[in-house]
């Protein structure tokens, strides 16, 4: 067992930052905690690292209780590797000394060997005598990661690790960081407000809101089967339709849709923008009111004849113009999800 968080609560004054969170990480698993700013995700991270003490609940790392009733282990004893938002590299030490910082207690040869192998893991062996201010943003991040990984921690905690990089670098580095973590076989918990980042990087996603976990699961499951309306809207774009459910289907203004799970009565269902398609030259039922060209795809905003505004995402192969009359319908494989 990598990490076990049981019923952890933390309040700052009157604000409940973390309100009863349960979370488990298996060894070698990468989990992303995704939530808007102020949802308590960073506090959760700091509780695991030991920079905050929980008001209630317990935390175990690698099978050992580190925080809980009558139990407290200070951060330096926990074997956590933390990658900070600003990287927090020691400016007075060069790359090698930064990476070796957490190995001070080890015998000399082991220290040299671990430092060298970690530097090679992140591909910075040629920069080992540079100082942090001489490195690019991406290199700094890799040093921060190497420094966290070198002491072979029970878990690596990453606090918004990509937020201080510019957008073009971000996607490439995301992949690089994932590969480094996988190579090292590290258990990692990543905190982010960027859904794309969380979806791409994590084995499992934990969506957090106001101090509580709304849904925990593999990214594709959280995306395709959101547990509620808020989660559906936070993880990607979504149309929420109203309809009457009967057995395994629901009747909406877009016709009868298949349901993921049987339901009865008046329900809201979530339909992703890519689950809809547009046809020209058919009996039109909607009008294009806005078009957002995004390169590889296009996001259309339609006014449906029943009055609802719909968003539809299509490949940019065939373009519709604002004002075009179109026929909108679900793709054939479409399965709708009841969101409340």
Partner 1 sequence: MAAAALVAAPLLVLPASFVAAPDALSDFSGLLPDAAVATAMLVLGVGIGTLVLGTGLAALVSFFDFPGRSWLEWALVLPLAMPGYVFTLFALGAADALGASWLDVRSPLGAVAVFTLVLYPYVYLLARSAFLSQGPELVEAARGLGLSRARAIVRVAVPLARPAILGGVALALMESLADFGTVNLLGVQTFTNAIYKVWFGAFDRDAALQLGTLLVSITLTLLALERLSRGRARYAQDSANAKAQAPLRLRGPLAALALAGPLALVGLVVAAPLAQLAVWSVNSIADGRLAPQFATSARNSLMLAGMSVVLVVGAALVLAYGRRASRSPAGNGAVRVATIGYGLPGSVVAVAVIVPFGWLDHRLDDIAGVGLLLTGTVIGLLAAYTVRFLALAYQSVDAGLERVPRSLDEAARGLGSDRLDVLARVHLPMISGAMLTAALLVFTEVMKELPATLLLRPLGGDTLAVAVWQSTAESLYETAALPALLIVLVGLAPVAALIRLSRRVA
Contact footprint for partner 1 (CB under 8 A): 49-51, 74-82, 84-86, 88-92, 101-102, 104-105, 147-148, 151, 157
- Smallest distance, partner 1 to C-beta of residue 229, A: 36
- Smallest distance, partner 1 to C-beta of residue 99, A: 10
- Smallest distance, partner 1 to C-beta of residue 260, A: 42
Residue showing tokens 């289907």: 249
Complex with partner 1: residue 67 or 257, whichever CB lies closer: 67
Torsion of CA 124, 125, 127, 129, to 10 degrees: 140
- Smallest distance, partner 1 to C-beta of residue 302, A: 46
Complex with partner 1: residue 121 or 286, whichever CB lies closer: 121
Complex with partner 1: residue 30 or 89, whichever CB lies closer: 89
Residue 187 structure tokens: 């258990």
Complex with partner 1: residue 81 or 226, whichever CB lies closer: 81
Residue 150 · residue 162 · CB < 8 Å: no
Residue 156 and residue 159: Cα distance in Å, rounded?
10
- Smallest distance, partner 1 to C-beta of residue 241, A: 45
Longest dimension (CA), the chain: 78
Residue 10 · residue 1 · CB < 8 Å: no
**Which helix (H) or strand (E) is 143 found in, with range?**
helix 137-149
Complex with partner 1: residue 49 or 135, whichever CB lies closer: 49
Complex with partner 1: residue 184 or 235, whichever CB lies closer: 184
What's the sign of the alpha-carbon dihedral 277, 236, 202, 138? positive
Q: Report the DSSP beta bridge partners of residue 61.
A: 3, 64
Residue 190 · residue 35 · CB < 8 Å: no
Phi, psi values for residue 155, rounded to 5°: -150, 145
Complex with partner 1: residue 154 or 311, whichever CB lies closer: 154
- Smallest distance, partner 1 to C-beta of residue 130, A: 18
- Smallest distance, partner 1 to C-beta of residue 81, A: 7
What's the sign of the alpha-carbon dihedral 235, 239, 240, 245? negative
- E strand segments, 140-236: 155-159, 188-192, 204-209, 212-217
Residue 10 and residue 42: Cα distance in Å, rounded?
12
């Amino acid at each position: 067992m990598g990490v076990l968080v049981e019923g952890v609560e933390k309040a700052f004054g009157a604000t409940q930052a973390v309100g009863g969170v349960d979370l488990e990480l298996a060894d070698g698993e990468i989990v992303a905690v995704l939530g808007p700013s102020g949802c308590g995700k960073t506090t959760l991270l700091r509780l695991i690292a030991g920079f905050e003490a929980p008001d209630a609940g317990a935390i175990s790392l690698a099978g050992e209780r580190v925080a809980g009733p009558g139990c407290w282990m200070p951060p330096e004893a926990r074997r956590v590797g933390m990658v900070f938002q600003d990287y927090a590299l020691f400016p007075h030490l060069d790359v090698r000394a930064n990476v070796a910082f957490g190995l001070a207690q080890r015998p000399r040869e082991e220290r040299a060997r671990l430092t060298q192998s970690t530097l090679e893991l992140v591909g910075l062996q040629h920069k080992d005598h540079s100082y942090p201010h001489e490195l690019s943003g991406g290199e700094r991040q890799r040093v921060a990661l190497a420094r966290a990984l070198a002491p072979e921690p029970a878990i690596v905690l990453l606090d918004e690790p990509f937020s201080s990089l510019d957008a073009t670098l971000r996607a490439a580095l995301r992949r690089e960081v994932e590969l480094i973590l996988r190579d090292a076989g590290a258990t990692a918990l990543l905190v982010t407000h960027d859904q794309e980042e969380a979806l791409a990087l994590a084995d499992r996603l934990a969506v957090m809101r106001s101090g509580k976990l709304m849904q925990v699961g593999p990214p594709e499951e959280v995306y395709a089967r959101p547990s509620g309306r808020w989660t559906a809207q936070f993880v990607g774009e979504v149309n929420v339709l109203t309809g009457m459910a009967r057995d395994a289907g629901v009747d909406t203004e877009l016709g009868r849709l298949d349901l993921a799970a049987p339901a009865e009565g008046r329900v809201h269902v979530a339909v992703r923008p890519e689950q809809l398609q547009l046809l020209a030259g058919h009996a039109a039922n909607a009008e294009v009111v806005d078009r957002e060209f995004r390169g590889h795809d296009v996001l259309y905003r339609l006014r449906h004849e029943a009055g609802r505004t719909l968003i539809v995402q299509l490949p940019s192969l065939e373009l519709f113009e604002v004002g075009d009359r179109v026929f909108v319908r679900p793709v054939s494989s479409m399965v709708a999800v009841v969101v409340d």
